[in-house]
Structure 1
Amino acid sequence: MPETTTDAPKIEPKAEHKAEPFRASIMQIEPQWIDYNGHLNMAYYNVMFDRAIDQLWLKLGIGPTYMKERNGSTFTAECHVRYLREIHLGDPVQVSVWLLEADDKRLHTFEELRHATEGWLSATSENMSLHMDMTARRVAPFPPDIQERIAAVTRAHSAVPRPEGIGRSVAMPSKR
């Protein structure tokens, strides 16, 4: 995502939030992302998920300006991606993000990548992000104002039906 000069938080801690996931801007598949199989290479699904998270982080006030002014950032500690249906060049896509849970140092998110006009599900990504004190390069609590924003969004997202796939693990199908 391009560097921004401000992280003007648009989410107020006490504001009422709609019971819906965060929806990132519609993205286009870039030609260099298509692999020799003629579809989107797996690495670029993660690029789009990351761009969507960056957009949510801006709304929470934890984007590039937060890093510069408050020396805080997030690192991904764990990621589980499921590839469910191929995406091709020319397909418009949109990522929806649920902030499932949060504590003073961690954010648990779930993302769905869907075809933006037809609505079908292409991939999901479930992540655990850690808040980092970038001066010490250690996990640290979010500042209270950020914790309030995160809590407001988590409350709103808790009213949304949970998408299928949360908590899945990688395993061979059981034989019956």
Structure 2
Amino acid sequence: MSNLFTLTGTVEKSMIDHNQHMHDSQYNEAFSQATNEFNYNNGLSLDERKQLNYTIFTIEEHTTFLSQLKLDDNYQIDIHLYNYDYKRLHFFLIMRNEQGNIVATNEQMMMGIDCDSEKSAPFPETFMRNVELYYNTQPKVDWPKQLGHRIEIPQKGDSK
């Protein structure tokens, strides 16, 4: 069984910047919405969070921009779960245009939070079971070089 969570969208006028392509903040908005939808669909909907007095925070992220999206372009975001433990998720998201070309990637670390203590806490059982199932049934992927990428300016003479 192979399972891949995806979110699709279309670039709207409000998402366009002065360079006439999708604003960088809008890529991050789309990636954030994708992980929100993943969490909502796997046991951490807004109602479930309220009932459990539990939430999930993004604690780190990194976005790479590889190509441009313009007005009315359609895109798809594929969510891959690179790793996880009992209270953290390490996502790698890939945004593709209609032709299937990668236009951006986003790496996120999320952590489960107990709302009373405002400290990290283990995932609720249902969510944890769904995370494990997703991890074990998602399609295998050749991880792109953007995974774990470090920002740096190569020095002269470096072959990077």
In the alignment, which of 110, 116, 119 is matched to residue 135 of structure 1? 116
Equivalent-residue separation in structure 1 for 2:94 and 2:101 (angstroms): 10
What SS does structure 2 have at the residue aligned with 1:166? Answer: coil
The normalised TM-score by structure 1 is: 0.83
Q: Which residue of 1 aligns with 2:47?
A: 65
Is there any run of 5+ residues in structure 1 with no aligned partner, and where? 1-16
Is 1:121 matched up with 2:102? yes
Q: Could you tell me whether the CA contact under 8 Å between 1:113 and 1:121 is conserved in 2?
A: yes
Q: Which moved more, 1:34-43 or 1:57-66?
A: 57-66
Q: Which residue of 1 aligns with 2:6?
A: 23
What SS does structure 2 have at the residue aligned with 1:94? Answer: strand
Deviation per residue, 1:57-114 (Å, 9 max, x gap): 1221112112111111110000010000011111011100001111111000000111
Q: How does 1:42-57 map to 2 (within 5 A)?
A: 42-57=24-39
Is 1:152 matched up with 2:133? yes
Is 1:105 matched up with 2:87? yes
Q: Could you tell me whether the CA contact under 8 Å between 2:63 and 2:106 is conserved in 1?
A: yes
Equivalent-residue separation in structure 2 for 1:31 and 1:135 (angstroms): 40
Q: Could you tell me whether the CA contact under 8 Å between 1:22 and 1:96 is conserved in 2?
A: yes
Letter in 2 for 1:161: V
Letter in 2 for 1:84: L
Deviation per residue, 1:128-175 (Å, 9 max, x gap): 000011122111111223211111111223x51233121111122352
What SS does structure 1 have at the residue aligned with 2:104? Answer: strand
Q: Could you tell me whether the CA contact under 8 Å between 1:66 and 1:73 is conserved in 2?
A: no
Q: Could you tell me whether the CA contact under 8 Å between 1:21 and 1:98 is conserved in 2?
A: yes
The normalised TM-score by structure 2 is: 0.91
Equivalent-residue separation in structure 1 for 2:68 and 2:126 (angstroms): 40
Q: Could you tell me whether the CA contact under 8 Å between 2:43 and 2:126 is conserved in 1?
A: no
The structure with the greater share of residues assigned to strand is: 2
Letter in 2 for 1:143: P
